[in-house]
Chains A and B, each alone.
Chain A
Amino acid sequence: MTYDYDKTIFELSAEGKQGYRLPPVDGRQGGGRQDAAPTNAPDTLRNVGAACSRPPEIPVIPESLRRAVPPLLPQVSEPEAVRHFTRLSQKNYGVDGGFYPLGSCTMKYNPKVNEEVCALPGFAGLHPYQPAETAQGALQLLHELGEAFCAITGMDEFSLQPAAGAHGELAGLMIIKNYHASRGEGHRKTIIVPDSSHGTNPASAAEAGYHIVQIDSNADGTVCLAALETALADGDIAGLMLTNPNTLGLFEKDILKIAELVHAAGGLLYYDGANLNAILGEARPGDMGFDVMHINTHKTFSTPHGGGGPGAGPIGVKAHLSEFLPTPRVVKDGDAYRFEDVGPNSIGKLRGYFGSFGVLARAWTYIRTMGAAGMKEVSEAAVLNANYMKEALKGPYKLPYDHVCMHEFVLDGLADAAEGVKTVDVAKRLIELGYHPPTIYFPLIVHNALMIEPTETESKETLDAFLAAMRQIADEAAKTPEVLTAAPGNTPVTRVDELRAAKTPKLKWEEVS
């Protein structure tokens, strides 16, 4: 029996422990005024001015503003804190540890050099309000990154401000709104999204104050042009949000026609960059007719997901939308860089400062490492890997859209399974066999969806082993279904009671009295 360091940090706590020692206040030995402490408590701060000829007046905090009950924080030593969080980490599954074919999320390897660059003291220690002349290297990096994104996507200008993909969507939709308003077409209040779109698309449109119209996909999984035309005929269409390749992993072949229809109706075309990894160096959203787009650096550009962020969601626009970008922008005058206000038509600021610099520095590093040739290698390997897996799995699993796919593909569950075996059981058995499962039950138009995205950073050996596991599971699903429905049994916890969590929410630790 070992001591249970995985209980909550609050349960590990004991008075008298502390995991970090602050430097003593200067003059500590000199002694200070007894009444100088703000809370009439410790000695340390009375000594701040002790060496001073005139002891400072350090006023007591007025009773009405003083905290009555101190916040509940754990008291643990450094080794105990380290052991606790190390134990927690061991209950996680990361890309470094294994294959993570999570569709739509592009869980590629996160290069180590990226971490080194963003931690350079010359970057990490910058205050956002320090003068521009003391942050020229950082501004240069941002400027270079914006230009690289333009080259990769075919857009004319990027703002690196948005904090994540959904935040970029919100910014892009606000830009579309300001564009229409600037032309006296403020009546355009509807955004069209396909039924296969990411949930963030309609949610972002709603948060930007739009109505949403959802259009059905064709039998082949792509945008139905007739449905699009019907929706566009409405007259108040602001734009269409599209992922290309779409969430089924299929390239929207009619993209030029789609762009033409949307533009003819006075709308703008928004590109959800979640699937950009598929087309790096092969095609560019800007050339397809998209007016505004976002990038998920934590997908395409190898910045780590961090268990749910922080990411970054830069947005790119064509020149006619530059005046609406978030403010400020980074400009280059000769050899000097500075921030410049975007002007009165800017959508403003959607967060503090200029962007998630630490994340952007990692993306910059990745792009410089890969170069033009590397980008093309990425999409080729990612797409080849996906097709190789799709072909191998289309027997034991249902493949609703049997076509050359791009970087990912969607299966519609098992071809042959005993009653009661569901897609979720396949996922849980994969966990037991050492894999992170694919995305399940998305896109919504495929009911038993298993959405598989291998990325380019996985070896053929890994793919083959995963395919063998998938075949084994399909076999078990028919013959020994209880193996699937009981899985996983070798993980820190087995399946959890989600209903209980939602019905009687316990959302923080509380002392049992």
Chain B
Amino acid sequence: MNPYIPTTANDRAEMLRAIGLESAAALFADIPAEIRLADGLALDAPKSEYEVLAEASARAAKNRPAAQMPCFLGAGVYDRLVPAAVRPLTQRQEFLTAYTPYQPEISQGTLQAIFEFQTLVCSLFGMDVANASMYDGPSACAEAALMAVRHTGRRALLVSALLHPEARAAVDAYAQFNGIDIVTLPEKDGITDKDAAVSALLNNENVAGVLIQAPNFLGVVEDLRPFAEACHAAKGLLLSYTADPAALALFESPGAMGADIAVGEGQSFGIGMGFGGPHLGLMAAKQPLMRKLPGRIVGETVDTRGRRAYVLTLQAREQHIRREKATSNICSNQGLNALTMTIHLSLLGGSGLREVAEQSYAKAHFLRDRLAELGFAPRTDAPFFDEFAVRLPVETALTADALNAKLLEKSFLGGYALGEKEWLVAVTEKRTRAEMDAFVCAIKEALS
């Protein structure tokens, strides 16, 4: 008996009789004989739950998960603390096993949670309106690019060289298939070259906007204001990407610095690293762009008795209504992960998030100083949040990869190799002083 299929042999016989068919095979009579599978699928035999769990555990045991090592690897995915209350709530079946909230009367839980999520996203980003989520940060960047092109009718986008490579890849792919030109804005001393942006905007009237990551891929906090001014003077849009919005507890929001569309990655907020997914795409915009947003949006309204209620709204933008004229093809998004972020930030509160950010900031600055003592020169002196790029000491023959390999032997997950001799190191609130001291010791040994 298959544990997930309740139909008994008696049921089957009775049901077939009720519909006047001889056998279950007759149900598939419309499938042409030449494509009917005669021998079944080339899969294993069914297994018990216990056997499958054992197989899964054996595979999991072959891994050495970052979360169980002192992890100094970030580059867009961060090893942060997650309150224990998050998972039991997101595992509640009413959230976990519900569909998209198309029937508001029995979906107020999901709808209100999304409404609260939209409020949090707007607040963090300093924006007016947010949608119910995108797949992840990189795909949100790509959708933001399409949105800017749609809004302006222009077909070029200036993209910072310091945009996360995964995000850049997604933007490139979406752009290529939509005939959008991507022009790279070069780096200058760890930040995006403002002069290059200004001159590109002046010389090309086909520029829909500028996409800047802040903090950028090197961890450096970018001042978006000059880009906003240049964009707006040219009647283009400023697009910002925040790969780790924990930074926004301390640093000025993209909205306040002039961004028109703000996208981000919400993995830092209660969503595990999970080998890269599923994570959480965030997207918000200023009011005039509200009806250009892709994806689902929840609005507040009232029911027939005048009580506060929530409902999916502005659906005339979406694929199930507008088909090929929709603002995007997105249907399923990241509902449960949006809920995760909402619960996570509710538990932390403003004070808790601020402490997460301040601890991360302080610890990262502490470690960078300690590494400097070992001869790791900062790649730039520009202000950073909790991730920083350094050059390996000139006297070592080690590459960043080789250094990481030596550190792994001692059960440390080292930084991201930016090249042979450059290293991107992340320090979250989860790292302890003892771990950082041990990390520094291990590096010293590796270098000697």
Contact = CB atoms under 8 A, between A and B. Distances in A.
Given A10-B119, A19-B348, A496 B5 contact: no
B97 A496 contact: no
B117 to A, nearest CB: 9
Contacts of B310: 496
Interface stretch (B74-82, B201-209, B390-398): B74-82
Contacts of B61: 122, 137
Given A174-B173, A205-B324, A306 B96 contact: yes
B92 A126 contact: no
Interface string A139-177: 011000000100110000000000111110110001001
A277 interface: no
Contacts of A208: 177-178
A348 B278 contact: no
A427 B198 CA distance: 56
A115 to B, nearest CB: 7
Contacts of A100: 99
Given A351-B136, A369-B49, A384 B24 contact: yes
B145 to A, nearest CB: 12
Interface string A49-66: 101100011110110111
Contacts, number: 737
A81 B346 contact: yes
A226 interface: no
Nearest to B119: A508
Given A70-B354, A127-B71, A375-B41, A353 B98 contact: no
B240 interface: no
A67 interface: yes
Nearest to B247: A67
A507 interface: yes
B278 A307 contact: no
A500 B329 contact: no
B73 A38 contact: no
B4 A357 contact: no
A311 B332 CA distance: 7
A167 B139 contact: yes
B46 A163 contact: no
A165 B334 CA distance: 12
Interface in B27-58: 27-32, 34-37, 40-47, 49, 52-53, 55-58
B174 interface: yes
Contact of A75 (B301, B303, B335, B351): B351
Residue from the set A64, A141, A364, A507 with the largest chain B CB neighbour count within 10 Å? A507
B130 interface: yes
B432 interface: yes
Interface in A56-87: 56-59, 61-62, 64-76, 78, 81-82, 84-86
B151 interface: no
A401 interface: no
B332 A307 contact: no
A57 B369 CA distance: 8
A134 B64 contact: yes
Contact of A72 (B101, B123, B429): B123
Interface stretch (A251-259, A261-269, A314-322, A470-478): A251-259
Contacts of A236: none
25 contacts: A18-B349, A45-B359, A49-B369, A68-B252, A71-B249, A92-B107, A93-B107, A97-B94, A120-B57, A165-B331, A203-B319, A207-B178, A209-B179, A250-B30, A302-B4, A353-B276, A358-B275, A373-B40, A373-B45, A380-B27, A442-B320, A458-B6, A460-B11, A505-B129, A505-B314
7 smallest beta-carbon distances between A and B, as pairs: A353-B276, A122-B60, A125-B67, A26-B433, A306-B336, A128-B276, A308-B335
